[in-house]
Amino acid sequence: MTEAVVLSACRTAIGTARRGSLREVSAFDLATVVVREAVQRSGLPLELIDDVILGESLAGGGDIARYAALEAGLSHVPGLAQNRHCASGLASVATAAAGIRAGMDRVVVAGGTQSTSTAPVSRWRVPGTDDWLEPWNSPSHVSTPQAPHNDMSILVGWNTARLAGVERQEMDAWALRSHERALRAIDAGWFADETVPVKVTDRGGAVSAFEVDEHPRRSTSMEKLAALKVLHPEIEGFSITAGNSSGANDGSAALVVADAAIAADHGVTPLATIHSWASVGVDPARTGLAPIAAIRKALDRAGIDVGDVHLFEINEAFASVAVAATRELGLDPQRVNPFGSGCSLGHPIAATGARMVTTLAHALRRRGGGTAVAAMCAGGGMGSALVLTA
């Protein structure tokens, strides 16, 4: 069985939705930017590319990957849009690796794209009536008071904190550290190699290049986080705030995943090898705990002990998720989210998984090798993890 290696990996800087730098840029244009750049960075001829697979969420249900392929000059390449909610980008990278390891494909562009700012609003007619629900999002499970499908602060954030015994102060402290680490990475230039500028035209016609993550806050402090109101004051003990939650964001990421022999034939040194991956399902009320099982399953498939992993990113959909997983798995907090995550960098839903793999692949190159794990929960009681080695 051939190895699936990452030849290139890039992402846009992450924008704050609806009021940030990418608010006028569609998910389609964001996808095109990173697909084109990832292919160029790979150094491979265009004709070698077999497919483009992109995670998408809230973009209307079309095949956004085919759109990006055409715009990037890959008219001979089909496209596959995948939706595993928050884990869509991660699923796309895993799907690409699976096709390569099976010998069905040799080079695939994989990633995800998200424009929360420009996402279309859906409406749905309630069966048996003439009533319409608007706005409407497709549910992944039957909604219950304990697990509402349309309120992640309860479904993921609060349920995880309650089930894992995570206190408000722990979540706030984790969120603060996330901002500090993201800003340290930005200031040190650690994201420079992975970030591709996006040309942005505002409504007044002014053109600029957006290339630095804008969501991390330099002014954040424990005092400011502690002063924030909880999102559901009517629920006794509720501890989830905007400060210990991920942001609403825009961004995209793409990687070129290839047969190791292709890399050797063309003299390309891979960034990393995709060693294993896994996805799991849990009761929807336990969505935020799903990364724990996914990490264990992915590491078991790789034959790697949790203590041998040098870098983790466990997406901070809510700080409670990362705190719970770190505690349950006995991880060294210094190895978890060393460059920030959802609470600071933000969470452009369908792009986040691919962004995490991109960041970790570049980090492994900087440190001269090692093992990294990207993991996250996904709405409806899902969790995914992927293991990289270099």
Integer Cα distance of 188 and 146 in angstroms: 43
User: Considering just the CA atoms, what is the radius of gyration of the chain in Å?
Assistant: 20
Task: State residue 198 phi and psi, 5-degree precision.
Answer: -115, 125
Catalytic residues: 86, 347, 377
Q: Residue 137 CB: number of other CB atoms within 10 A?
A: 15
For 369, half-sphere exposure in the C-beta direction (CA atoms, 13 angstrom radius) is 2
Integer Cα distance of 14 and 8 in angstroms: 19
Burial string for 82-118 (b: 16+ CB within 10 Å, else e) reads bbbbbbbbbbbbbbbbbbbbeeebbbbbbbbbbbbbb
Q: Which helix or strand (DSSP H or E) is residue 302 part of?
A: helix 290-302
Signed CA dihedral, 109, 54, 92, 199: sign only: positive
Integer Cα distance of 111 and 38 in angstroms: 10
Q: Which helix or strand (DSSP H or E) is residue 295 part of?
A: helix 290-302
The answer to whether the beta carbons of residues 113 and 252 sit under 8 Å apart is yes
Give the total residue count for the chain: 390
Task: State residue 314 phi and psi, 5-degree precision.
Answer: -110, 105
